[in-house]
Structure 1
Amino acid sequence: MQPLNRQTAQISEQRPVKVIQFGEGNFLRGFVDWMIDILNEKTDFNGAVEIIQPLDKGIYKLINGQDGLYHVVLEGIQDGKTTQETRLISCVQNAMSPYADYEGYLKLAENPDLEFIISNTTEAGISFDAADASPDTTSSSFPGKLTALLYRRFQYFNGDSDKALTIIPCELIEKNGEALRTTILQFAQHWNLPEAFSNWIEADTIFCNTLVDRIVPGFPKDTIQDIQQEIDFEDNLVVKAEPFHLWVIEAPESVQAAFPTNKAGLQVKFAQDLTPYRTRKVRILNGAHTALVPVAYLQGLRTVREAVEDETSGTFIKDAIYQEIIPTLDLSTEELNQFAKDVIERFQNPFIHHELITIALNSVAKYKVRVLPSVLEYQQRTGQLPQRLLKSLAALILFYKGEYNGQQIPLNDTPEVLEFFQAAWQKESVEETVKMALASEDFWGQDLNQINGLTALVTAEAVALQGAENVQANTN
């Protein structure tokens, strides 16, 4: 088996660096770099990526040891069929650490071919740190490092508007582009940088809000030997991902022209407002996860795939999606149905072992954000209550009893939530417990008992679930 590098892989082409990428982790390499590699193959994009390791410790040396090469292995279900595909990624030209060579890092800003900054530095990555004292030393925060890089570019090109960059953050926070712009301007003020620089950032630099969606489990340690035998390379940077991918980018048309994913068949949507797509993802993908967990878990199932393929819980969640969630959304029926179909296939992915109990973390807060908006919107639009989504709420209340059918449920939530339900289940009847749970404005932002018919419906579902528990206990 050969070591993986450009000589052994017989890759000699050199492309101009058009992208600086903050983050060397599995997600960016299995999502963004995978797309850029396809762009290079199928369009005239012709761009290489320079990876910046945003933390002091990381894998930039390992990446350089393989000359930036690695494989992405896609495994999942598409159009009802199991699919497996392996791609050698060659768009990464180099990786570096600002902590090891800060001046070398800043000189990247002087590259006239540079067009894009892409990042994924965790949800906490876009934040201001007053301890980052100057652009002359390595900042600990990602926005501090980026501000210093942009300031070097501003100085080197004398504030030329044509040399301003497009910033595309992938951090999982709402309006991530706007948040990053605000933080950079905060650093500019903190460091007393020229007003002209702040004007250049505000007027000429494009900050895109984005939504990203792909499950990237990362390095496949359980099957790596088989993969290496198949590719005939010793690749220590293999990234495993699902086939599904979606990147929604709020940006002017000029960005789409410079980043022509539409010509490469990639699922990248450029939009003036990504809010409908975020709502779609939260309510269909995340909402279905959250609604499914307590129902399927109380039924005795333990993984997402089991739950979706089970006749009872599978029918429950599909009907909830198509009959109760989709009617609350404003995108086209075709788009919504296709996304729902993709979601079900993703849930059925035989290569991803997704435990229901891991999704159950902080389920009360998740239900409020992911499911309750669909309940309220459905009631407003139809004048009726969504029975399946409220069955999920009943199951959730029963789930938080911490025990079902003689088995302990390993609840994972804040002490306040756990203590609340411990007290609620001391009530003399299920009816009283349900009423107490629905009344918690701390949980739901309102007293759900005030919604006509909701208390009776949730109580009836909870009583039925408890009856099913008693039947199972007697059978056992």
Structure 2
Amino acid sequence: MTRLSKTALAALPAGVRRPAYDRSRLSPGIVHLGLGAFARAHLCEFTDDALEHEFGAWGVVGASLQRPDQRDRLKPQDGLYTFLKRAPAGPELRVIGSVLDVLVAPESPQALVAKLAAPETRIVSLTVTEKGYCHDPATGRLRADHPDIAHDLANPDAPRSAIGLIVAGLAARKAAGLGPFTALCCDNLPSNGHVLAGLVRDFAALRDDRLSQWIEANGAFPSTMVDRIVPATTEADIAEVASLLGLDDAAPVIGEPFRQWAVEDVFAAGRPRWDAVGAQMVSEVAPFEFMKLRMLNGAHSSLAYLGYLAGHETVAEASGDPVFARFLQGLWAEIMPTVPAPQGVELQAYARDLLTRFQNPAIRHRTWQIAMDGSQKLPQRLLGTIRERLKAGAPIDHLALGVAAWMAYVTGTDEKGAAIDVRDPLAAEFAAKTRAAGRNGGALSEALLGIGAIFGDDLPRQPAFTKLVARHLDALFAMGARATAAALAAAH
């Protein structure tokens, strides 16, 4: 079968969307560090849309910071790849054209630094995952003792970390009398632009105080909030794309139709017209992050625990169950009064969109996967909301059921008596406490509420919370998750 490439575009089936601009005229303006599936399904698609709306020098040069795999897949395809959107009505295919080249940092860090320093580079975006920032998540500060940071300080002309590369590029621009590029973080870090700015300044100060001061005075580090479900591409996905496309594509990406991108509109040297194609250019991103954390992530976790206990493998199956769909409505009704509506957002409409996304049967988002690491997720996703509701004297019935479902889940046994593979940094502690407490709601909730790293010192002293969680636990053990959620709905 013929490989996808610019010469093969004419052979695409009529229903496949392709770049509607003259790609031969496209020149680079963005360098993206960490060109994984999410970036190609989010930033690159937004950029393709912006190029169709208003053409400009905004092509993307990707940079792989570890391996050549992405380059080796995309180079023979002239940077083209297919985005397969899994919609409830059926698959939608689009060929994305905004990626022009892919560099591999370990092969030639100097070539990548030169691209960052080039006058035409106006934005350096990145998706390198949290660990790629070489920082202490608790403080947000740079870890000067991190092996990659230590290497980059000793080898400033051959950096290997994202932070070292950005600073090397900015240093070269300063030396050449150029202004800085905009550093645009697209990773799921709270206040990601502010975090990135601090890390870059910290690293620059270790190299040269004057460079750090120049970056602080002239640099641009907008915070962003990104949202789209992009599952890992499987061999079956690649085969499906080839069948639908009639061409081989070694680098397709898979995603849901929904996408969201809130961006602080602070750019040092311009940007594509992302605002004209659905991105929300805002003065402050924090309200969007807060809304997503409480309404999307809080609901995801609660549904994952209840759904898994009830035997649902995926979010779509669980949220498609009318009982759990009604539970979500009640949960959002408790959460929304604690969420200030971000600029241009109506919270009820956002909740409706979330339910539609959850119920998309074409996206297989496993409840077990979402249930991982609950000890790290619950404090931000549910417990902060519970504290606010308790302080206001407001009901927390649905929120407390989410917590109780987590407690039932970490006992390590589901409703049919089968073992649950509990993945959590505190899994061993859970096992010890739950064995001692048994399937007694009062004893189990007391044991788990005593874990201060999760619940603090305050929540275990709130009877309105502790008694409700214990009652929910007893109901979960006696009736199961579905019947407990149904009984809660009937009581409301």
Query: Structure 2 length as normaliser, TM-score?
Result: 0.86
Does the C-alpha gap of structure 1 residues 152 and 451 become closer, same or farther in structure 2, counting only changes over 3 Å?
same
Does the C-alpha gap of structure 1 residues 318 and 434 become closer, same or farther in structure 2, counting only changes over 3 Å?
same
The 8 Å contact of residues 372 and 422 in structure 2, kept in 1 or not, is answered as: yes
The 8 Å contact of residues 301 and 371 in structure 2, kept in 1 or not, is answered as: yes
1:329 is the counterpart of 2:339: yes
Deviates more, 1:415-424 or 1:386-395: 415-424
CA distance in 1, matches of 2:327, 2:269: 40
Tell me what 2:409 maps to.
399
CA displacement at 1:76 relative to structure 2: 2.5
Tell me what 1:465 maps to.
476
Moved over 6 A (4+): none
Q: In structure 1, list runs of 5 or more residues that go unmatched.
A: none
Tell me what 1:259 maps to.
272
Does the C-alpha gap of structure 1 residues 384 and 64 become closer, same or farther in structure 2, counting only changes over 3 Å?
same
Deviations 1:40-90 (A, max 9, x none): 11124442111111114432132212111111111124xxxx353221111
CA distance in 2, matches of 1:362, 1:375: 19
Does the C-alpha gap of structure 1 residues 137 and 196 become closer, same or farther in structure 2, counting only changes over 3 Å?
closer
1:280 is the counterpart of 2:300: no
Tell me what 1:367 maps to.
378
Aligned mate of 2:231, from 214, 217, 220? 217
CA distance in 1, matches of 2:4, 2:482: 59
Deviations 1:392-442 (A, max 9, x none): 222222222222444223242446444345334424743222233234323
Other structure's SS at 2:390 match: helix
Aligned mate of 2:188, from 168, 172, 194? 172
Amino acid at match of 1:232: G
The 8 Å contact of residues 440 and 447 in structure 1, kept in 2 or not, is answered as: no
Share of identical aligned residues, percent? 25
1:351 is the counterpart of 2:362: yes
CA distance in 2, matches of 1:410, 1:388: 23
1:151 is the counterpart of 2:171: yes
The 8 Å contact of residues 109 and 160 in structure 2, kept in 1 or not, is answered as: no
Other structure's SS at 2:61 match: strand
CA distance in 2, matches of 1:214, 1:308: 18
CA distance in 1, matches of 2:113, 2:461: 59
Does the C-alpha gap of structure 1 residues 392 and 148 become closer, same or farther in structure 2, counting only changes over 3 Å?
same
Aligned mate of 1:451, from 457, 462, 478? 462
Other structure's SS at 1:20 match: strand
Tell me what 1:422 maps to.
432
Deviates more, 1:234-243 or 1:447-456: 447-456
Deviates more, 1:281-290 or 1:255-264: 255-264
Deviates more, 1:278-287 or 1:391-400: 391-400
Does the C-alpha gap of structure 1 residues 85 and 279 become closer, same or farther in structure 2, counting only changes over 3 Å?
same
CA distance in 1, matches of 2:281, 2:164: 28
Tell me what 2:140 maps to.
none
CA displacement at 1:258 relative to structure 2: 3.0
The 8 Å contact of residues 378 and 386 in structure 1, kept in 2 or not, is answered as: yes
CA displacement at 1:466 relative to structure 2: 1.9
Tell me what 1:125 maps to.
132
Does the C-alpha gap of structure 1 residues 197 and 392 become closer, same or farther in structure 2, counting only changes over 3 Å?
closer
The 8 Å contact of residues 22 and 52 in structure 1, kept in 2 or not, is answered as: yes
Tell me what 2:394 maps to.
384
Does the C-alpha gap of structure 1 residues 307 and 198 become closer, same or farther in structure 2, counting only changes over 3 Å?
same
Q: In structure 2, list runs of 5 or more residues that go unmatched.
A: 11-21, 135-142, 144-148, 484-492
CA distance in 2, matches of 1:133, 1:277: 36
The 8 Å contact of residues 6 and 12 in structure 1, kept in 2 or not, is answered as: no
CA distance in 2, matches of 1:415, 1:183: 27
Amino acid at match of 2:462: I
Other structure's SS at 2:311 match: coil
Amino acid at match of 2:132: G
Does the C-alpha gap of structure 1 residues 83 and 206 become closer, same or farther in structure 2, counting only changes over 3 Å?
farther
CA distance in 2, matches of 1:471, 1:113: 57
The 8 Å contact of residues 425 and 433 in structure 1, kept in 2 or not, is answered as: no
Other structure's SS at 1:215 match: coil
Deviations 1:375-396 (A, max 9, x none): 2222233x13311111222222
CA distance in 1, matches of 2:461, 2:74: 57
CA distance in 2, matches of 1:136, 1:462: 56
CA distance in 1, matches of 2:3, 2:399: 52
Tell me what 1:4 maps to.
4
Aligned mate of 1:113, from 120, 126, 133? 120
1:95-110 counterparts in 2 under 5 A? 95-110=102-117
CA distance in 2, matches of 1:42, 1:317: 37
CA distance in 1, matches of 2:171, 2:96: 31
CA displacement at 1:170 relative to structure 2: 1.3
CA distance in 2, matches of 1:350, 1:63: 30
Tell me what 2:451 maps to.
440
Amino acid at match of 2:411: K
The 8 Å contact of residues 400 and 418 in structure 1, kept in 2 or not, is answered as: no
CA distance in 2, matches of 1:456, 1:102: 58
CA distance in 2, matches of 1:335, 1:88: 32
